[in-house]
Amino acid sequence: MAAEPRQKPELIEREAEFSTISGHPIEPLYTAADAPADPAATIGDPGEYPFTRGPYPSMYRGRLWTMRQFAGFGTVEETNERFHYLLDQGQTGLSTAFDMPTLMGYDSDHPRSLGEVGREGVAVDSLDDMEALFAGIPLGGVTTSMTINAPAAIALAFYVLVGERQGVSAEKLGGTIQTDILKEYIAQKEWCFPIEPAMRLVTDMIEWCSEQMPRWHPISISGYHIREAGSTAQQELAFTLKDGFTYVEAALERGLDVDDFAPRLSFFFNAHVDFFEEIAKYRAARRIWAREMRDTYGAKREESMRLRFHAQTAGVSLTAQQPLNNVVRTSLEALAAVLGGTQSLHTNSFDEALALPTEDAVRVALRTQQIIALESGVTNTADPLGGSWFVERLTDEMESAAYAYFARIEELGGMVEAIRQNFPQREIADASFAYQQELNERRRIVVGVNDLVQSDEGETPILRIDPGLEQKQLDRLQATRARRNPAAVESALTELRRAAASEENLMPSILVAARALATEGEMIAAMQEVFGTYAESPVF
């Protein structure tokens, strides 16, 4: 891309690493020589193929991003209160964090759930819990995001039935469920089944939603957790898009038309602290997705090529030391996501390296987005950074790095096979260790951690989860078990096992079991009888 080697003037430079946080080298200066050869083809205008400059022509002049703070702790009652609080503070969409037992398919009264119920999210065992979680929130009037993967089909069934109880049909429900199981095996590590049956469930959901839930995103293909596990920006981009292509291929193999399901695929990226690298990552993601969807997968509709994403600021960038500094980190990260063209955003709270956030900390995080949206002026024009020599060059380099990874993954036999061989897991572990070494050697600085340390730090008030909430959830679960018809539950679970052993779509059987008040743990256990479980051989 650079036409000829530029003449570098004699530069006086500080002793420092001039590279991104991912280790990507940065030149002292970018000039017109770094401009893309064919800007009309590779950049275009916002809202036009290949969408490098953004998915929509008017971007934030048309509509601001959705401010969506992830929340969940304790029982459904505490979380429902937090949801109402966030909506009252001007939040525009809901986002549910489930607790670890729920994410792993264990009911709250399972022995493995002890001590974990309601700790890192909200416990949802049955349809009753999901209904109480959204009490007083008309599902026709909000969009909801649910961060759950291995048991996603069950959570979706619960949500659809809550809508039904409220009189809102499935076709009117808007929102996103994460469902991205490949990144679980790669990074987040909350699984229930081996990879193949897990992929089948994902495909079942994509198929079912393409018929029943036109406003719903059945999957949010996620780089967030890959990055949090210690990957570079390049790895996050490459592994996420490759996961996405793998889901597309699975749906095509199922016989679906790409233009029927692709418009409902959505993405979720990290917003890390290296400002320009992140912006380049989002721009490259849109361009690669558009090209591959059109040229490799035969998409005809623009909606199928238009990558839209949610972003969350980087939890991993937060420090336990001098935690108020995290407000600044989060602001920079959020600004990168906005200048990179995000459709929705979660900003972390400054106390999250210590515990789940307090209400005060969450409010500052939400206000951070509101200040960017309403005061900073960056929303006045679409893609204000488009055409920056540096940004365009970095975008091109991001793209090349992603394609280099695609080629390596293809050599291994595709993403599923690469995961089996621990390839992405090892790449992430290596990157994460290399970064830690840079911190140890102070080649990279984190303020307050390995430089500018302050010894007399005050106490930061943190959210304590009342241990009594675990018992409260156990009581709720017991009440649900007591009031249901055991014969109906048993026959629904038998039917679910039968469906799991067949090739039919599992969503209808899951809906029947959910309606009979079968718990999540019971449904997962029934499917595990057919599918088996998963264990990894970890690499470090």
Partner 1 sequence: MTEAATARKIRVVVAKPGLDGHDRGAKIIARALRDAGMEVIYTGLHQTPAQIAETVIQEDADAVGLSILSGAHMTLVPRVVELLAEQGVDDVLVTVGGTIPAEDIPELKKLGVAEVFTPGAGTEEIVEFIRAGARERHERDGQHP
Q: Which residues bind partner 1 (CB under 8 A)?
A: 100-101, 103-104, 106, 112-116, 119-120, 184, 187-190, 228-230, 316, 319-321, 353-356, 429, 432-433, 436, 439-440, 446, 448-450, 459, 462, 464-465, 467, 535-538, 540
Instruction: Quote the CA–CA distance of 239 and 237 in Å, as a whole number.
Output: 6
User: Cβ 187 to partner 1, closest distance in Å?
Assistant: 8
Cβ proximity to partner 1, 115 vs 136, nearer residue = 115
Cβ proximity to partner 1, 252 vs 446, nearer residue = 446
Cβ proximity to partner 1, 101 vs 163, nearer residue = 101
User: Cβ 229 to partner 1, closest distance in Å?
Assistant: 5
User: Cβ 112 to partner 1, closest distance in Å?
Assistant: 7
* Spatial CA neighbour of 25 closest among 445, 286, 439, 401: 401
Cβ proximity to partner 1, 187 vs 394, nearer residue = 187
- Paired with 219 in beta bridges are 265
Cβ proximity to partner 1, 179 vs 379, nearer residue = 179
User: Cβ 160 to partner 1, closest distance in Å?
Assistant: 26
- Paired with 217 in beta bridges are 176
Cβ proximity to partner 1, 46 vs 448, nearer residue = 448
Cβ proximity to partner 1, 393 vs 444, nearer residue = 444
User: Cβ 227 to partner 1, closest distance in Å?
Assistant: 10
- Paired with 144 in beta bridges are 94, 175
Task: Say how many residues make up the chain.
Answer: 540
Alpha helices in 218-322 (DSSP H): 224-228, 233-253, 258-261, 275-295, 302-305
Instruction: Quote the CA–CA distance of 493 and 498 in Å, as a whole number.
Output: 9
* Spatial CA neighbour of 161 closest among 213, 198, 117, 237: 213
User: Cβ 537 to partner 1, closest distance in Å?
Assistant: 7
Cβ proximity to partner 1, 197 vs 448, nearer residue = 448
Question: Which residues lie closer than 8 Å to 374 by C-beta, 6 or more apart?
Answer: none
Cβ proximity to partner 1, 89 vs 321, nearer residue = 321
* Spatial CA neighbour of 427 closest among 244, 230, 270, 272: 230
User: Cβ 42 to partner 1, closest distance in Å?
Assistant: 35
Angle formed by the axes of helices 325-339 and 275-295, to 10°? Answer: 30
Q: Is 198 helix (H, G, I), strand (E, B) or coil?
A: helix
- Paired with 70 in beta bridges are 95
Cβ proximity to partner 1, 278 vs 351, nearer residue = 351
Alpha carbon 37 to its chain's center: 34
User: Cβ 189 to partner 1, closest distance in Å?
Assistant: 3
- Paired with 211 in beta bridges are none
Counting Cβ atoms within 10 Å, is residue 184 exposed (0-12), middle (13-18) or buried (19+)? buried
Cβ proximity to partner 1, 113 vs 266, nearer residue = 113
User: Cβ 433 to partner 1, closest distance in Å?
Assistant: 5
- The DSSP string of 435-503 is HHHHHHTTSS--BTTTBS--SS----------THHHHHHHHHHHHHHHHS-HHHHHHHHHHHHHHHHSS
Cβ proximity to partner 1, 67 vs 71, nearer residue = 71
User: Cβ 175 to partner 1, closest distance in Å?
Assistant: 24
User: Cβ 110 to partner 1, closest distance in Å?
Assistant: 10
Question: Which residues lie closer than 8 Å to 111 by C-beta, 6 or more apart?
Answer: none
The dihedral sign for the CA sequence 350, 355, 357, 359 = negative
Instruction: Quote the CA–CA distance of 43 and 286 in Å, as a whole number.
Output: 10
Q: Is 540 helix (H, G, I), strand (E, B) or coil?
A: coil
Instruction: Quote the CA–CA distance of 312 and 104 in Å, as a whole number.
Output: 22
User: Cβ 326 to partner 1, closest distance in Å?
Assistant: 11
- The DSSP string of 105-138 is T--TTSGGGTTTTTTSSB---SHHHHHHHTTT--
Structure token pair of residue 320: 């336990």
Cβ proximity to partner 1, 31 vs 436, nearer residue = 436
User: Cβ 357 to partner 1, closest distance in Å?
Assistant: 12
Structure token pair of residue 198: 């897990």
* Spatial CA neighbour of 278 closest among 222, 220, 333, 347: 333
Instruction: Quote the CA–CA distance of 287 and 46 in Å, as a whole number.
Output: 11
What is the residue whose two structure tokens read 């199981």? 181
User: Cβ 450 to partner 1, closest distance in Å?
Assistant: 7
Cβ proximity to partner 1, 475 vs 536, nearer residue = 536
